[in-house]
Structure 1
Amino acid sequence: MRWMSTVPASDCGRAGTKSSEARLQVDAWVAKRGGERAMAVRARARLVELVAYARTRSPYYRHLYRGLPSKVTELAALPVTDKSQLMAAFDDWVTDPAITLERARAFAEDPALIGRPFGGHYSLSTTSGTTGKRGIFLHDARQWAVTSAMATRMLTGWLTVRDTARIAACGGRTALVVPDDAHVGGAVMAARLRGRSRVAALSVHRPLEELVEALNDLRPAVLAPSASLGVLLAGQAEAGRLRIAPALVCLGAEGLPMAEHARIGRALAGAKVRATYNANECPFLSYSCPAGWLHVNADWAIVEPVDERYRPVPPGEASHTVLLTNLANRIQPILRYDLGDAVTVRPDPCPCGTPGPALRVQGRAADRLTIPGADGTPVTMATRPVAIVLDTVPGLDLFQIVQTGPATLRLRLAPAPGIDPDDLWDTVRARLSGLLVRRHLGHVRLERASERPQISTGGKIRPFIPATTSAKP
């Protein structure tokens, strides 16, 4: 998302203070009222400022931009970056010389530190993303202040007076369904909210029946699961096992067809269902509207749909990937970053009236593994918990799981340099087996593949390849 401020740049640099946060909140409202032009003016000014900052403070960008003019105003003049390049140059990429990849990795491998400050000033989260390669991302106070302002703008756009009254009638209780054993974005956010009496963080690793029981006890007014888990919960509600009536369901992590959104809303007593399309690289990127489009917060984020050669793709056509520029984060500048998702930008104004590019995402399909249970009854499991478990394995560079039979998963692993493949396999097998046992799927057979993860024709590694993608939970 991008939202530009009428506040001088120097004020935005002190966004950790309460006064700066208040100014950001006000500016978010002003920018939305001003429409596309107001957002574009802010974005352009912030881009110039960020490029200058990155060249000054990041050795990586200083080298990458060495042949560019002293002042860059056009985004297309900047070279493309990606996760592999930036992670390989991590120590030079970050703008704080006290931060190193070695320290960040050690922090990320300790689940007891989830949500705790890293380096004294930052939040740290990890992701494997659509490429299956682990990334470590830092968030400074400025970015968190922007994220908060964007969340406020999102909620005021989503909720009517009636919705707000319904939430208040339920005591304002919010249920976040997140991992509790890895430094992923949802877990870090939940940790930041820990201690608030009306917010409950439920582990995504719980067996589905236990999660349903916990939600029935909590009766949340707002429910925030991943999209694929939202579908599973809708199935539980349709079967009469989940009995909650939230006013709002906020889906994250994956994309779902609008028909599934409608299904979730019907199953959960007419809940309003909305979604966000965000990333660790930009935790405030976009939010959905009633028409089912995702609106980029275009005053604080820039998205560029491009083809295989990074040439612009016109609105109405599906891109090969999308380039992301995050205008809020200065500890780890994200400039023209290949996010790896295919998107289509709406070619005409969205009927909802929300400013900012409206898009739909094709590249984040909510793959689910359907496996026969011990009694033969099909059990559908979201893949995100599996990815989270593998993302915490030290020395695992890439992974790919192929469902080769109803109850057989073939694991393709790529160890990091210097990691013993046999030791890595033992660790992966133990952690994944533990997850399957907790899901009452201990009978599933894990195969060790001799081949490395396979790259698709699109140049990406698909982390999960289910036996079928058509099974409905």
Structure 2
Amino acid sequence: MSDLARDARRALREGPDGIARRQRTRLAEIVAYARQNSPFYRDLYRGLPENVEDVTLLPVVDKKILMAHFDDWSTDREVTRERVEAFIADPELVGQRFLGKYLVASTSGTTGVRGLFLSDGEYARVHLALGSRATNDLGLGGALRVLTHAGRTAVIAATGGHYYSAASVARFRLDHPRLGRIMKVFSIDQPLPELVAGLNDYDPASVAGFLTLLTTLAGEQEAGRLRIRPAVLMPGGETVTTEARQRLATTFGATVRPAYMATECSLLALSCPHGWYHVNADWVVVEPVDADHRPVPPGEPSHTVLISNLANRAQPILRYDLGDSMVVRPDRCECGSPLPAVQVQGRAADLVTLPAAGGGSIGLSPMLFGVLLDGVAGVERYQLVQTAPDRLRVRLRPVAGADSDQVWRAVCQKLARLLAEQRVAGVALEHGDEEPEQASSGKVRRIIPLAKA
């Protein structure tokens, strides 16, 4: 067991005081490191006390601000936006070390601003150490099932780009060749029958993926087409309701352990059997706040949440506006964990249900559309609105100087190809003249399924 893993276990044994002590120490260390090595933070933190253990002393940042100061934000002077862009342009480099040091992950997120995030080897080691907290409640039966399935893990993720899930698995496989052999990525954009066949053949001990896709796979398992017996299911990307959790657990006979994570901080929180996410507060600071970034009392939903990632020094994420809404539990969780317990209100997405070519209907994950449209040149922001069972309205904001007609044609071609590959038929695409609508939180919900009666 590594020193980091031992410390992660020791922190739980020491309880809230030990966790808080680690958080204060690590916050002070990373703020000092950021001030010394990042010109952006050196300027931003000018005038602050020399030693900062109170996160509320720091100004708030967001993705737009960090991307605008990319070269000065990074703590390595060799890192530039131009060099990172050139690196991620090659899909063959997914998971490879940028500059021989860093994992690169890209995302556009719900704000419509594409993010490029680097993480270092120490961050990966912390993430691996905290992962031991996810397997504490499998029980003897679950542990035996993991062994009989040789520990195989299936990660169903966006591929074809430097998205975090696929990139981190590729990085892990390169760093740990022996363990890496039991991890396999399945693309979310392959036709459902192919995905089902691949999972049946692989027979995984654990499955991680987007919640809506795992729900679709539950339907395949109930119909008898999917025949797997994983010990653990790890849904992510959306709020996991009690009903969804129970269905997955019953259908697969598995322990369901949703993870709350973001590309900016993949080690945010893990769920417990009582339906709460427990924040890894020894390595992450989470602040539920109102619209003016003032603290929200426990038990009340926040307008947004600020996160500080204390493990990644390549590009420090400090008091970063993540955009999600959450509620902090005011008392200790029944599971006994000393880590803060939260429920996440944001990230709830539904399947987009469209007519299938052979009759009936088919549900597509919003992530499928997101991955597709993120890669269209000339698109600054978009929103896909299902206005009828067989109609999708596309709202586009092209980047400055782009030919709007050319961008629209490219989007139509991409969408038509996706629908054909997913065996969807009879769906009309219409070009919306209006701008993508922004919610009061500042988010743009990029995919809006048809409202259910």
1:29-72: per-residue Cα shift (whole Å, max 9, x none)? 11111111111100101111111111111111112111322322
More displaced, 334-343 or 118-127?
A: 118-127
Alignment correspondent of 1:117:
97
1:421: Cα distance to partner? Answer: 2.5
Q: Give the Cα separation in 2 of the matches to 1:467 and 1:28.
A: 44
Residues 274 and 469 of structure 1, relative CA distance in 2, 3 Å threshold: farther
**SS of residue paired to 1:35:** helix
| RCO higher in structure (CA 8 A, sep ≥6) | 1
Inter-partner Cα distance in structure 2 for 1:232 and 1:320: 31
Give the TM-score taking structure 2 as reference length: 0.95
Residue 387 of structure 2: which of 377, 380, 404 is its match?
404
For residue 42 of structure 2, what is the aligned residue in structure 1?
62
Specify the code of the residue in structure 2 equivalent to 1:341. D
- Alpha-carbon distance in structure 1 between the residues aligned to 2:137 and 2:86: 39
Are 1:147 and 2:127 matched, yes or no?
yes
Runs of 4+ in 1 over 6 A off after TM superposition: none
Aligned to 2:440: 457
Query: C-alpha separation between the residues in 1 aligned to 2:141 and 2:192?
Result: 31
TM-score normalised to the size of structure 1?
A: 0.91
Report the alpha carbon displacement of residue 171 of structure 1 after superposing the two structures with TM.
Answer: 2.4
Cα distance in 2 between the residues matched to 1:331 and 1:349: 34
Once residues 316 and 181 of structure 2 are traced to their aligned partners in structure 1, the CA distance between those partners, rounded to angstroms, is 35
Establish whether residue 380 from structure 1 lines up as the match of residue 363 from structure 2. Answer: yes
SS in 2 for 1:365: coil
Whole-angstrom distance in 2 between the partners of 1:49 and 1:276: 27
Q: Is the 8 A contact 1:178 1:190 kept in 2?
A: no
1:76 and 2:52 matched: no
The aligned residue for residue 246 of structure 2 is: 262
8 Å contact 1:44–1:73 — kept in the other structure?
yes
Report the equivalent of 2:9.
29
Q: Which amino acid aligns with 2:334?
A: P
Matched, 1:205 2:205: no
Q: Which of 126, 150, 153 is the equivalent residue of 2:106?
A: 126
Q: Identify which range, 432-441 or 388-397, moves more after superposition.
A: 388-397
User: What is the CA deviation profile of residues 335-373 of structure 1, one whole-angstrom value per residue up to 9, with x for unaligned ones?
Assistant: 110000000111110010112110111111032201111
Could you say what secondary structure the match of 2:110 adopts? helix
Q: Which runs of 5+ in 2 are unaligned?
A: none
Deviations 1:172-204 (A, max 9, x none): 222111122121111112212446332222111
Q: What CA distance in whole angstroms lies between the structure 2 residues aligned with 1:193 and 1:98?
A: 24
Give ranges in structure 1 of 5+ residues lacking alignment.
1-20
Structure-to-structure mapping, 1:36-55, within 5 angstroms: 36-55=16-35
SS class of match (2:357) = coil
Residue 355 of structure 1 aligns with which residue?
338
- Cross-structure match for 1:4: none
Counting only pairs closer than 5 Å after superposition, residues 434-449 of structure 1 correspond to structure 2 as 434-441=417-424, 443-449=426-432
Q: Which is worse superposed, 428-437 or 271-280?
A: 428-437
* Paired residues, number: 448
Measured on the aligned residues, the alpha-carbon RMSD in Å equals: 1.6
Q: Residue by residue, what CA displacement relative to the aligned partner does 1:298-343 show, whole Å, maximum 9, x if unpaired? A: 0000100001111101111110100000001111111110000000
In structure 1, what is the Cα distance between the partners aligned to 2:401 and 2:233?
44
For 1:106, the equivalent position in structure 2 comes to: 86
Q: Whole-Å Cα distance in 1 between the matches of residues 93 and 435 of structure 2?
A: 32
Helix, strand or coil: the match of 1:285? strand
Residue identity over aligned pairs, in percent, reads: 47
Distance 2:428 2:86 in 1: 31
1:133: Cα distance to partner?
2.1
Q: Is the 8 A contact 2:111 2:442 kept in 1?
A: no
1: CA distance, partners of 2:269 / 2:407:
37
Alpha carbons of structure 1 residues 442 and 373: separation in structure 2 relative to 1, 3 Å: closer
Where 1:225 maps in the other structure, the secondary structure is: strand
Q: Indicate which of 244, 257, 277 corresponds to 2:260.
A: 277
How far 1:105 sits from its partner (Å)? 2.0
Is 1:233 paired with 2:217?
Answer: yes
Whether 1:215 aligns to 2:194 is no
Residue 392 of structure 1 pairs with residue 371 of structure 2? no
